[in-house]
Structure 1
Amino acid sequence: MERNAYFDNAKLLLIFLVVFGHLIQPFISDSKNLGTLYTWIYTFHMPAFIFLAGFFAKGSGNLKYIMKLAKKLIIPYFIFQAIYTGYYFFIGKSDWLTDSIFYPHWSLWFLCSLFCWHLLLIIYRKLPAFVGISLAVFLGTVIGYFDQVGHTFSLSRTFVFFPFFLIGYWVSAEQIRVLKRNSVRVISIIVMASFAVLIYYLPEINSGWLLASKSYSTLGAETLGGFARLSVYITSALMAASVLAWIPEKRYSFTMLGERTLYVYLLHGFIIQYFRQTEFLYMDNFLDFIGFVVISVAIVFILSSKFIVSIWQPLIEISTSKLREYFRRKEDMEDNNMSA
């Protein structure tokens, strides 16, 4: 397996689905087919993303690594929390002022949770894999019974999604390669198709079960919520594995964009929220649906372009290496022109 190509292709597909899911969300109540597609995507796209994040957390566990991670995740969190607050006010979004700096805007919850998952690894990496994963699933299930745990600090999502991160941490590249077997890929098609049919014909599924940010009482399942969450765990695990089985290993011209998914993740909210606030987009027919796909692809390509990365790197990576490289190339070009 070409490690970089496979994982970059996977991250690129998943970030496209994140953007596409956010783009179509305002319209899912108007169409049974669109609602089914939205729910189907949400059964796996964040669990798979988090699984990959765990896979690349092999070096986690020491203080130096945690301090480096704080610079990479916590500082950008505070920066973008402030930027999004100002942006929401600018576009007239009603919930522009949050209750707390620790109540994440938009998709910023992922930065908080990702940092917490690395902290949790300090303890969990000392446990046998099966014991640690079982404990993580238990806590992720129990946490839903506490109404006090929710969006603040992204605590609910941190505990609920942690099993996927921990599985990714323990899984090896050789084990992931098993997904590429023909028998597994055939089964994966059956799994993906079966869940699509179930989602379509079952009563409407509250997206809160997949977003993992609400308590069971809020979701109307105060007593049996734990069993519902376990079923979501099983569904998400099967769906994530099935989708990853079909990720190509070949390197394409666009594969490198998978290295810049954090930029797309943090920046696409500015575009999506503007579309939602201004009601700029509408969906009335299949051609409109194709247009949404094209717009989502364009957003991913633009926000992962070298130009955007160079501009936003100081705020996202707290680094100016891309800008220095740009000016260095510019100076070299000027020197070459003068020499000519």
Structure 2
Amino acid sequence: MRKQILIQHDQESFFYNLRFMLIVCVLAGNALEPLITRFAGAEALFLWIYTFHMPLFVWVTGYFAKPSIQGASGRNVLKQIALQYLLFQTLYALMDATVFHTPHMRLSFFAPYLLLWFLASHFCWRLLVRLTISWKPVYRLIASIALGVIAGYLPVDGFWLSCSRTFVFLPFFVIGYDYGAAIRARLLPGWGRRVAGILSVALLVYIAYGGLNIPQGWLFGSKTYAELGHQEWYAGIFRLGVYLLEIISATLFLAWVPNLTSKLTDLGRRTLYVFLLHGFLVRLAIWSGIYSYMGSALFIPVILGIAVLFSVTLAHPLVRHTFKVLIEPDISRISIHRHGVFKRSA
């Protein structure tokens, strides 16, 4: 029994460690984006991050969703995600209108603001798993891959309600939900882990030397095939190829994730705060014009260091204490009545 508890503990630590490492990658990717057209190194690092960080983030999200998909806890999580989306969609829109004076700015809940696509998609992923909860995992996986491929053919704007990303990344959520623990248990230890880590770095070098000639849009998952310039009937095959690339890159990156419980594990429990708040910092940095002073690729490691610093800061318990009411509101007494109106129970 004690051995089983320790194994479970190490498994949880692994996923929390991974989650914090991924949120650092999210922040780093967003911070590097303004530089990718100016420095080849920034572009290579940006592309490398995008080959694994979002598939893995969705995978981790699926793993942690398993205990709270059904029942009252599942409904509460859905309500919390919905409230987070509505609130932060409004806050980011207000910031654009009042601080940045973005032209033609208008508030729309049907077009997620930048990073908030993840909330809209997370809501949908949970609903889709709930709807297929009686299916065998393998059937759910096959269906999710089929939807991910078919989504690219839809004659709609891929950004609308994060429609494209919802279906494109759905297989990773399903894999995390149904197979996350099993995959973690089968990761290679020892020399196999070291080889995978080396190959992960080798992929970065390969990208840096122009070996990966793939448009960024394929990795973002936010556009249809037509928007990516592919009208061919067989364009879905390209999506399968991208899936293969992402699975390989993600698997290799996992070699860098520690298993032991540490400060990293504790930080990984509060990544939601980093995710929802870092957009304000990145937007302020871009608006301030600070990127115009970065005339050398030597600023790339500086940005990476700042990304780590901001991630650690935003995951601090003090930040959670300050913003918990905003980010994790108590929704246990909120119910959805007829006409879809949120009401607070007496």
TM superposition score category, shorter chain reference: 0.7 to 0.9
Change (3 A) 1:203 1:171: closer
For 1:130, the equivalent position in structure 2 comes to 138
Please tell me the residue identity of whatever aligns with 1:73.
I
Change (3 A) 1:93 1:157: farther
Given that 1:71 and 1:318 are in contact with CA atoms closer than 8 Å, whether structure 2 keeps it comes out as no
Tell me by how many angstroms 1:177 deviates.
2.3
Tell me by how many angstroms 1:198 deviates.
4.3
| Deviation sequence 1:253-277 (CA, Å, 0-9, x none) | 3431110101000000000011112
Given that 1:60 and 1:122 are in contact with CA atoms closer than 8 Å, whether structure 2 keeps it comes out as no
Change (3 A) 1:95 1:62: farther
| Deviation sequence 1:117-173 (CA, Å, 0-9, x none) | 111112333222222211111110111012304112111111000000000111153
For 1:310, the equivalent position in structure 2 comes to 321
Is the aligned partner of 1:208 residue 2:217?
yes
In 2, the alpha carbon distance for the partners of 1:109 and 1:284 equals: 32
For 1:239, the equivalent position in structure 2 comes to 249
Tell me by how many angstroms 1:252 deviates.
2.4
For 1:119, the equivalent position in structure 2 comes to 127
The 5 A counterparts of 1:214-225 are 214-223=223-232, 224-225=234-235
In 2, the alpha carbon distance for the partners of 1:236 and 1:129 equals: 21
For 1:26, the equivalent position in structure 2 comes to 34
Secondary structure of 1:299 counterpart: helix
In 1, the alpha carbon distance for the partners of 2:87 and 2:73 equals: 21
The 5 A counterparts of 1:55-70 are 55-70=63-78
- Normalising by structure 1, we get a TM-score of 0.87
What value does the CA root-mean-square deviation take over the aligned residues? 2.1
Is the aligned partner of 1:252 residue 2:283?
no
Secondary structure of 1:214 counterpart: coil
The number of residues matched between the two structures is 320
In 2, the alpha carbon distance for the partners of 1:40 and 1:91 equals: 33
Q: Which among 73, 76, 97 is matched to residue 89 of structure 1?
A: 97
Please tell me the residue identity of whatever aligns with 1:209.
W
| Deviation sequence 1:312-339 (CA, Å, 0-9, x none) | 111111049xxxxxxxxxxxxxxxxxxx
In 1, the alpha carbon distance for the partners of 2:103 and 2:329 equals: 28
| Deviation sequence 1:92-140 (CA, Å, 0-9, x none) | 2526734621211121111111111111112333222222211111110
The 5 A counterparts of 1:158-307 are 158-182=166-190, 184-189=192-197, 191-200=199-208, 201-202=210-211, 204-223=213-232, 224-281=234-291, 282-307=293-318
Change (3 A) 1:203 1:169: closer
Q: Calculate percent identity across the aligned residue pairs.
A: 33
Change (3 A) 1:3 1:203: closer
Please tell me the residue identity of whatever aligns with 1:262.
L
- Normalising by structure 2, we get a TM-score of 0.86
Change (3 A) 1:151 1:238: same
Change (3 A) 1:204 1:32: farther
Given that 1:85 and 1:96 are in contact with CA atoms closer than 8 Å, whether structure 2 keeps it comes out as no
In 2, the alpha carbon distance for the partners of 1:230 and 1:168 equals: 18
